[in-house]
Amino acid sequence: MNSFDEAWGNLPDFLSWHVLLSVSALALGLLLSLPLAVLATRSRILRGGALTFASLIQTIPSLALLALFYPVLLALSHFTQDNFGFGFRALGFLPALLALTLYSMLPVLRNTITALAGIDPAVKMAARGVGMTRWQSLFIVELPLAAPIIMAGIRTAAVWVIGTATLATPIGQTSLGNYIFTGLQTENYVFVLFGVVSAAGLTLIIDRLLALSEDGLARRSRARVIASLAGLAVVIGASLYPMFGHAERSVVIGTKSFDEQYILGNVLADKLKSAGIVTTRRDGLGSTVIFRALAAGDLDVYVDYSGTIWANEMKRADSPGRAAVLAQMADWMKKTYGIRYVGPLGFENAYAFAMPRAKADALHIATLADLAAYAPRMKIGGDFEIFSRPEWRAVQKAYGLKFGVQRQYQANLMYNAVSGGDVDVISAFSSDGRIAQYDLKVLGDPKGALPPYDAILLVSPAHANDDGLLMALKPLLGAIDLATMQRANLMVDRPDDKLSPQQAARWLEKKITPK
């Protein structure tokens, strides 16, 4: 299966979520902003307040706005759980919906306020003169007259929301953004392009249909408005159609935002599918978000790394050895969250500080300890997480490392940066095939500052005793060795002859299936 076919195959799922999310956010946004705008025309203070608030929302980068809702909702969910006995899913649809709703408000608010304020005073006078109440004047005269301008605002909001909905992917909401994020991560530009074109296409179609409505309202042509509404109903209905049918509760597979995770996500999906389990994907989540999501039941299964949980979640800085880490971690997760530790996959993907072999050899650097003397004159490149993780502080402390410059990269670009000489050292991943490809030297950790990072399978509290699921996952335990994982990763990462994560997953499955 080539990338295009794979992308095409995902379209019903991605598109239906994208449409559901955008339409819900727009509807909710309208429900809030229209009454607010009407009230605002009657109060100068409210008008100023509402417009300032909506403008302020626009100044927050959209990705950050979406991301910020997760912790807020999580706290709220804990609060309601503690006080009223119910919680809700803080990841995925809800935070995306709320952020996009806020995002949709400004154009509708502004246009509605402007349109209502711009109505000919003689017409408003006439409305009072013929004996209309304030509300009758509003609904019979003012709103219908303001409708074309309000509609223009709704169009702007629709374009913004449908575009911004692509950013819902990192907070665990499937959207057309899945193509873009996965594509960027795996340097699969067919995916990126597919995502961009489909999102733009959807935006264009909805915008044209709303334009027809706007035109219809301006010309008082009922036929145009009806045609537009019918068109919208068809587009939305057709997009949402794939959603009906899987009513059964599916098992949600999560992945973090790098290639190995996408490959393993596909492997998990295939394994569960062949066991007859219905699955849904939440791709490209952040390290902390994904663990919380599992604990909260927003996700059901994913692959994490023991050291990440050890350092980030358990806040441990010691390193008592591989077996002890796994045992204590399993125990802690079960007690604290009810999370089920299924077992290790068989390889380790550790944070590994690496530099070009030639340079390392020339300076006689073999370990992190050797690096300390050169560090102040060196530049280090890391992914988006490393410099804020406890492991980094532990390593810095253990070896007295102090780099002259720190830079953050998208994981893929990190390797280009170090081989191109932009930085001297990077925080590589030990299972990454590009360490070999770029001939990087992984520096030793003689003081054991870094914990082990065994790839491990985790299952949510709700499925902790789901025998069907656990049985389906069992064949993966201990099945993937480091060399196999590195090869699979390289298939996706290499610049030439790249495979998609799904293709690499198929290769990996074949490789680990006992003959």
Partner 1 sequence: MIELQGLSKAYPGSAVPVVRALSFTVEDGEFLVVIGESGSGKTTTLNMINRLIEPSAGRINVDGEDVLGLDAVSLRRRMGYVFQGAGLFPHMTVAENIAVTPRLLGWPKPDIDSRIDELLHLVRLAPADYRGRFPRELSGGQQQRVALARALAAKPKIMLMDEPFGALDPLIRDDLAEDYRQIHERLKLTTIFVTHDMTEAMLLGDRIAVMREGALIQIGTPNQLLGNPADDFVKALVDTPKKRARRLAEVLRVTP
Give the H or E element holding residue 243: none
Of 19, 20, 21, 145, the one binding partner 1 by CB under 8 A: 145
Least CB distance to partner 1 at residue 233 (A): 25
Of 27, 75, 126, 471, the one binding partner 1 by CB under 8 A: 126
Question: Does 321 contact partner 1 by CB under 8 A?
Answer: no
Q: Which is nearer to partner 1, 118 or 448 (CB)?
A: 118
Question: Does 276 contact partner 1 by CB under 8 A?
Answer: no
Least CB distance to partner 1 at residue 142 (A): 10
Question: Does 355 contact partner 1 by CB under 8 A?
Answer: no
Least CB distance to partner 1 at residue 38 (A): 18
Please give the DSSP secondary-structure letter assigned to residue 321: -
Least CB distance to partner 1 at residue 140 (A): 8
Question: Does 483 contact partner 1 by CB under 8 A?
Answer: no
Measured distance CA(342)–CA(326) in Å, rounded: 11
- Contact window for partner 1 (CB under 8 A) among 124-132, 199-207, 268-276, 455-463: 124-132
Q: Which is nearer to partner 1, 148 or 177 (CB)?
A: 148
Least CB distance to partner 1 at residue 120 (A): 8
Of 127, 268, 295, 352, the one binding partner 1 by CB under 8 A: 127
Of 141, 152, 206, 414, the one binding partner 1 by CB under 8 A: 141
Q: Which is nearer to partner 1, 130 or 204 (CB)?
A: 130
Of 312, 243, 327, the closest CA to residue 280 belongs to: 243
Of 292, 28, 290, 15, the closest CA to residue 174 belongs to: 15
Measured distance CA(44)–CA(111) in Å, rounded: 16
Of 24, 136, 279, 430, the one binding partner 1 by CB under 8 A: 136
- Contact window for partner 1 (CB under 8 A) among 88-96, 134-142, 440-448, 505-513: 134-142
Q: Which is nearer to partner 1, 122 or 247 (CB)?
A: 122
Q: Which is nearer to partner 1, 147 or 354 (CB)?
A: 147
Long-range contacts of 150-154, Cβ-Cβ distance < 8 Å, separation of 24 or more: 150/34, 150/108, 150/111, 150/112, 150/115, 151/210, 151/213, 151/214, 151/217, 152/111, 152/214, 153/107, 153/108, 153/109, 153/110, 153/111, 153/112, 154/26, 154/30, 154/107, 154/108, 154/111, 154/210
Q: How many residues contact partner 1, by CB under 8 A? A: 18
Question: Does 149 contact partner 1 by CB under 8 A?
Answer: no
Q: Which is nearer to partner 1, 81 or 133 (CB)?
A: 133
Of 479, 448, 213, 216, the closest CA to residue 344 belongs to: 479
Please give the DSSP secondary-structure letter assigned to residue 447: T
Q: Which is nearer to partner 1, 136 or 408 (CB)?
A: 136
- Contact window for partner 1 (CB under 8 A) among 37-45, 125-133, 156-164, 273-281: 125-133
Measured distance CA(432)–CA(489) in Å, rounded: 6
CA torsion sign, 485 to 327 to 89 to 163?
negative
Task: Determine the Cα angle at 264 with ends 263 and 265, to 5°.
Answer: 90
- Contact window for partner 1 (CB under 8 A) among 126-134, 307-315, 341-349, 487-495: 126-134
Which tokens belong to 305? 């790394």
Contact positions with partner 1 (CB under 8 A) in 209-268: 220
Least CB distance to partner 1 at residue 150 (A): 13
Of 123, 197, 233, 327, the one binding partner 1 by CB under 8 A: 123
Contact between residue 407 and residue 417 where contact means Cβ atoms under 8 Å apart: yes
Question: Does 64 contact partner 1 by CB under 8 A?
Answer: no
- Contact window for partner 1 (CB under 8 A) among 118-126, 299-307, 440-448, 483-491: 118-126
Torsion angle, alpha carbons of 367, 372, 376, 378, to 10:
-10
Least CB distance to partner 1 at residue 147 (A): 8
Measured distance CA(37)–CA(50) in Å, rounded: 8
Q: Which is nearer to partner 1, 76 or 132 (CB)?
A: 132
Of 85, 131, 276, 514, the one binding partner 1 by CB under 8 A: 131
Measured distance CA(149)–CA(201) in Å, rounded: 24
Question: Does 200 contact partner 1 by CB under 8 A?
Answer: no
Q: Hunting for tokens 């006078």 — which residue is that?
A: 125
Q: At what angle do helices 501-512 and 259-274 cross, to 10 degrees?
A: 60
Q: Which is nearer to partner 1, 122 or 362 (CB)?
A: 122
Of 245, 290, 262, the closest CA to residue 412 belongs to: 262
Q: Which is nearer to partner 1, 133 or 465 (CB)?
A: 133
Q: How many CB atoms neighbour CB 5 within 10 A?
A: 12
Q: Which is nearer to partner 1, 66 or 138 (CB)?
A: 138
Question: Does 115 contact partner 1 by CB under 8 A?
Answer: no
- Go through the chain and tell me how many residues it has: 515
Q: Could you tell me which residues are beta bridge partners of residue 282? A: 254
447 CB contacts (<8 Å, ≥6 apart)?
Answer: 368, 369, 398, 399
Contact between residue 214 and residue 150 where contact means Cβ atoms under 8 Å apart: no
Of 39, 56, 64, 125, the one binding partner 1 by CB under 8 A: 125
Measured distance CA(13)–CA(123) in Å, rounded: 49
In three-state secondary structure terms, 441 is strand
Please give the DSSP secondary-structure letter assigned to residue 177: H
Least CB distance to partner 1 at residue 107 (A): 23
The residues binding partner 1 (CB under 8 A) are 120, 122-123, 125-133, 136, 140-141, 144-145, 220
